[in-house]
Chains A and B, each alone.
Chain A
C-alpha cells in the first residue's frame, strides 16, 4: 500500500525531554515536509527537505531539528528548547513542485 505513515499516533512527553516523531513514505517522492497545527488554526511549516541530506527551515523552526538520511524518511525531533510543543504534527511529501500529500499526524502532549 503506497502512502505516508507517521508514528506514534499519540505521544506524551515530560517537560525537558526530547522526543522524535517518525515519518515514512513509499511514494518515491523527493520532497518531504513537517507542519504543526494548533487548535482552531491552520498548519504552519516547521522544516522541509527537497532532497536527501538537505533541508531548510520553515516559518517556525526554533526548538525543532530534522534529518534526511534516506529518501523515504524524515524524522522530526522536538527538543526541550521548544517552549510550547503540545500540538498536532503532520508530515507531507510531494514529487518536485507538485501536489502535497499528508500523513495521519501525531498528537503530542507535554505533561
Chain B
C-alpha cells in the first residue's frame, strides 16, 4: 500500500515566522489531503490537493504528483496555528474511493 512520510516531526517557531511542512508519498495517488488536528482531536480539512497549487488566506499547498511530494506553507504564523498537521494520501480501486493513508504528522508550536 501507499506509504506517507512527513517532515519535520516537530517544529517550533516564533509568532510571525513562515514555515514549510513536507509530505512524501510512495505511489501514484488521486487523493491528497492536509488536515489540522485541534486540541479536542477534530480533524479540520485544510486542502484537498492531489495536484497543483491552492491558497487559502495565510495557508497554501502545492502537490507535485510526478515527484510524489506535497508541501504546506504557513505564512505569518499565529499562536492559533499550533497543533498537529497531517498529510494523507489515497487511491481509488474499481471506481470507488479507498481509505486514506496518514503520515505521522508534524507537531507545530508557535511561541508568542
Contacts and interface: CB of A to CB of B under 8 A. Distances in A.
Contacts of B42: 102, 104-105
Interface string B53-89: 0000000000000000000000000000000001010
Contacts of A110: none
B94 to A, nearest CB: 8
A26 interface: no
A96 B103 CA distance: 22
A94 B92 CA distance: 12
B101 interface: yes
B36 to A, nearest CB: 11
A84 interface: no
Interface of B: 1, 4, 30-31, 33, 35, 40-43, 45, 48, 86, 88, 90, 92, 95-105
Contacts of A42: 4, 86, 88, 102-105
Interface residue range, chain A = 20 to 34
Interface string A35-56: 1010011111100101100001
Given A50-B96, A100-B33, A90 B43 contact: yes
A89 to B, nearest CB: 10
A97 B41 contact: no
Contacts of B99: 33, 35, 45, 48, 58
B97 A104 contact: no
B100 A43 contact: yes
Interface core residue of B97, B98, B101 (most chain A CB under 10 Å): B97
Contacts of B30: 97
Nearest to B6: A42
A31 B6 CA distance: 26
